[in-house]
Amino acid sequence: MEVKELYRNRFNRDELARKDKLWQILCRHFFQRFVPEDAVVVDLGAGYCEFVNNIKARFKYAVDINEDTKDFARPGIEVFKSSAARLEFIPDGSVDVVFMSNLLEHLPDKEAVWEVLLEARRICRAGGRMLLLQPNVRYSWREYWDFFDHRIPLSDRSMVEVLEMAGFAVVKTLPRFLPLTTKSRLPQAGFLVRLYLRMPLLWKVFGKQMFIEARKRD
């Protein structure tokens, strides 16, 4: 299956533009608090670079198997076409923040998930952060299999378990955070998105993706 063809079919240009505007707000009003501006950041499964383009950091890597990713990365971002489990181009212990959004459910099996987490741990410095945004099958099971490329069902509980096994200490878990997709009922107007982020009670109604912050143990 060609990843680039799948995603070109799934998102048209207008949808990609709306996603980028949404991520500008998500980065500014939520994710940036976890990313120091002098950090080295790796976005695994960067896709169309919505996160890595909009987060402020000293140095940024974008990694994806989709060859289209390089065409969306802004100047100054180092782009690699690679599996997230094969990061030989990134030195051991050189990264402050590893970010993954909607990546792990696309991997072929749980062994592949394990390999990605171990590789993420290798490149993280001691105390470095893992930030994970991921569909939570406990709350998205009705729609989870509507996407042809979803393979691995994961919950907040299973992710906490495997992160701890892989050498991370889980610091923060939000079992319900964002809706499942940008085509879901998350409001698109900027002020409404900012309002949503300030109202955790809404997350319990609309949230079908988990957010987890973990730190690499020594």
Where along the chain do its domains lie? 3-216
pLDDT, residue 3, reads: 55
Half-sphere exposure of 13 (CA within 13 A, CB side): 0
Residue 129 makes CB contacts below 8 A (sequence gap 6+) with 34, 35, 96, 97, 98, 213, 214, 215, 216
The mean pLDDT value for 12-29 works out to 84
Q: Which amino acid is at 144?
A: Y
DSSP 80-120: EES-TT--TTS-TT-EEEEEEES-GGGSSSHHHHHHHHHHH
The share of the chain scoring above pLDDT 90, in percent, equals 79
Picking from 184, 186, 190, 211, the residue whose alpha carbon sits closest to that of residue 28 is 190
> Residue 103 has what pLDDT?
96
The pLDDT value recorded for residue 147 is: 83
Look up the pTM and report it.
0.90
Distance CA 33, CA 68 (A): 29
Least confident interval from 34-48, 89-103, 137-151, 174-188 = 174-188
At 215, list the tokens: 């730190």
Identity of the residue numbered 100 = M
pLDDT higher than 70, residue 217: yes
Question: Average per-residue pLDDT in the chain?
Answer: 91
pLDDT digits (tens, 9 = 90+) for 95-127: 999 999 999 999 999 999 999 999 999 999 999
Q: Helices 13-29 & 190-197, crossing angle to 10 degrees? A: 40
Task: Tell me the per-residue pLDDT of 51-87, one tens digit each, with 9 for 90 and over.
Answer: 999 999 999 999 999 999 999 999 999 999 999 999 9
**110 vs 96: CA distance, rounded Å:** 25
| pLDDT for 173 beyond 70 | yes
Q: Look at the domain 3-216 and name its fold.
A: Rossmann fold (3.40.50)
Please state, in angstroms and rounded to a whole number, the distance separating the CA atoms of residues 70 and 67.
6
Does pLDDT of 4 surpass 70?
A: no
